[in-house]
């Protein structure tokens, strides 16, 4: 899936579900600040989110001048370079923004075997709202 990686944040294990929309909004705000990409939060970047069982891997999207593809062949261009990867089965929560259907996020435990482990929240923006729908 070709998407924009908006950003991520670590959460304390005490973070509650009602806090999640606020957290996602804060990650979005950080990525839209004029100084994003400087010392603060990084600016949003175009990525491929590749599901290759059992892993979910986020890799830099090929440049516009490259093959421009979006399938597995395009993902192979960056198979050695990735932003992050984790086992898809460790995703614990999917968050969909009802106000802007192009944004979604998911939560994953940093250390799945540790119940006290921090959670990480990754926020993405799709160019097409249908990409961000739950199936």
Measured between alpha carbons, how far is 40 from 34 in angstroms, rounded to an integer? 10
* pTM of the predicted protein model: 0.77
Measured between alpha carbons, how far is 39 from 25 in angstroms, rounded to an integer? 20
Residue position matching structure tokens 């932003």? 83
Q: Which fold has domain 2-132?
A: PH-domain like (2.30.29)
Q: Evaluate whether 15 touches 105 at the Cβ level (below 8 Å).
A: no
What burial letters (b/e) apply to 122-131, b meaning 16+ CB within 10 Å? bbbbbeeeeb
| pLDDT the model gives residue 58 | 94
Measured between alpha carbons, how far is 98 from 95 in angstroms, rounded to an integer? 9
Identify the H or E element spanning 122. strand 119-125
| pLDDT the model gives residue 97 | 78
| pLDDT the model gives residue 36 | 52
Task: Show pLDDT as tens, one digit a residue, over the chain (135 residues).
Answer: 899 999 999 987 778 889 998 999 999 999 887 665 544 556 789 999 999 889 999 999 987 334 444 445 444 554 567 889 999 999 989 988 778 889 999 999 888 888 778 889 999 999 887 766 655
| pLDDT the model gives residue 79 | 57
| pLDDT the model gives residue 32 | 84
| pLDDT the model gives residue 124 | 95
């Amino acid at each position: 899936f070709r998407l924009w990686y908006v950003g991520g944040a670590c959460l304390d294990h005490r973070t509650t579900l009602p806090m999640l929309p606020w957290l996602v909004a804060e990650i979005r705000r950080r990525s839209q600040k004029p100084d994003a990409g400087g010392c603060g939060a990084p600016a949003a970047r175009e990525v491929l989110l590749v599901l290759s069982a059992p892993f979910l891997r986020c890799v830099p999207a090929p440049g516009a001048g490259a093959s421009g593809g979006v399938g597995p062949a395009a993902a192979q261009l960056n198979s050695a370079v990735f932003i992050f990867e984790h086992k898809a089965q460790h995703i614990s929560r999917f968050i969909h923004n009802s106000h802007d259907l192009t944004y979604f996020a998911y939560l994953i435990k940093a250390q799945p075997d540790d119940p006290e482990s921090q959670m990480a929240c990754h926020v993405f923006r799709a160019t097409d709202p249908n990409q961000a729908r739950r199936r």
